[in-house]
Amino acid sequence: MAEPARTSAQRTRLPLAVEGLVDKKTAGKQEGNALTMKGSLVITGGSRGIGAATAILAASRGYKVCLGYLRNEVAAAGVVAEISRAGGQAIAVAADVGDEAQVAAMFDRAETELGPLCGLVNNAGILESQAVFSAIDVARFYRLLRTNLIGPFICAKEALRRMSTARGGAGGAIVNVSSVAARTGAPFEYVDYAASKGALDSLTAGLAREAAPVGVRVNLVRPGFIYTEMHAAGGEPDRVDRLANTIPMARGGKPDEVARAIVWLLSDSASYAVGTTIGVTGGI
């Protein structure tokens, strides 16, 4: 015998009606819901590559995006224009992540022009020319640490100060962008870069546990080999293609594929994810 037709109310209550299984505050509020306007989001290194893809995706999901950059004003303006064309809200701010005063000024502008901070993506990162370990000098290692480790540290302090519920903030989320190099060590290429990312992993683990009680979720994304301009900075623009046959999926990743993991960790859909790592590596 055919089942009696359910009313739409009955349909939506199955299985949501199971008490306790669904948080009524977040039910139906997917990370993809562009209608939910969110607070301001600072994305460092938002002018190019993974940061630019994250800025565009986050803006489409209702975040008001402040994208930081170092010196490529044209690229940063291009990302802002693309977000504006799509109906989103964004500003670009030149701020060296290794400089405390510049970082504080960037967060001030984000909150003044876009509203209270709800998230940070610590994405800005650099590498230098491919080199064997013995050819890496101390000055270079300091430069790497300044941008890849001290920078995220300074930005996370600013963000935590503003979002912490213990200081009157509304809580929020921080996503740090590490690298698969933290696991492999990048021998014969970038051991200094890999070490800076390994330290960022540890910083994330500790901060995540300190920040969770004050309403701030901190997590990590570890990209593998992604098609961006970063590899040219290392002296090998086609590095991703050269390494493709070492990747189980036999191809490099696209910035947008990393952006989706970052934006998920920022979102309410990741409401119980703390101190976790998402690898976006094609299987490396």
| Span between the terminal Cα atoms of the chain, in Å | 52
Compute the least distance from the CB of residue 113 to ligand NAP, in Å: 19
d(CA 174, CA 42): 10
Q: Which is nearer to ligand NAP, 63 or 225 (CB)?
A: 225
Give the residues lining the site for ligand NAP (CB under 6 A): 44-45, 47-51, 68-72, 75, 96-98, 123-126, 147, 151, 177, 179, 223, 225-226, 228-230, 233
Q: Which is nearer to ligand NAP, 126 or 199 (CB)?
A: 126
Q: Which is nearer to ligand NAP, 55 or 169 (CB)?
A: 55
Q: Which is nearer to ligand NAP, 96 or 169 (CB)?
A: 96
Compute the least distance from the CB of residue 103 to ligand NAP, in Å: 9
Compute the least distance from the CB of residue 177 to ligand NAP, in Å: 4
d(CA 122, CA 222): 12
Catalytic residue (one of 69, 190, 193, 227) = 193
Q: Which is nearer to ligand NAP, 72 or 269 (CB)?
A: 72
Pairing of strands 277-280, 216-223: parallel
Q: Is residue 227 flagged as an active site residue? A: no
Q: Which is nearer to ligand NAP, 40 or 47 (CB)?
A: 47
Residues 6+ apart with CB under 8 A from 253: 223, 224, 225, 226, 227, 280, 281, 282
- The catalytic site residues sit at 193
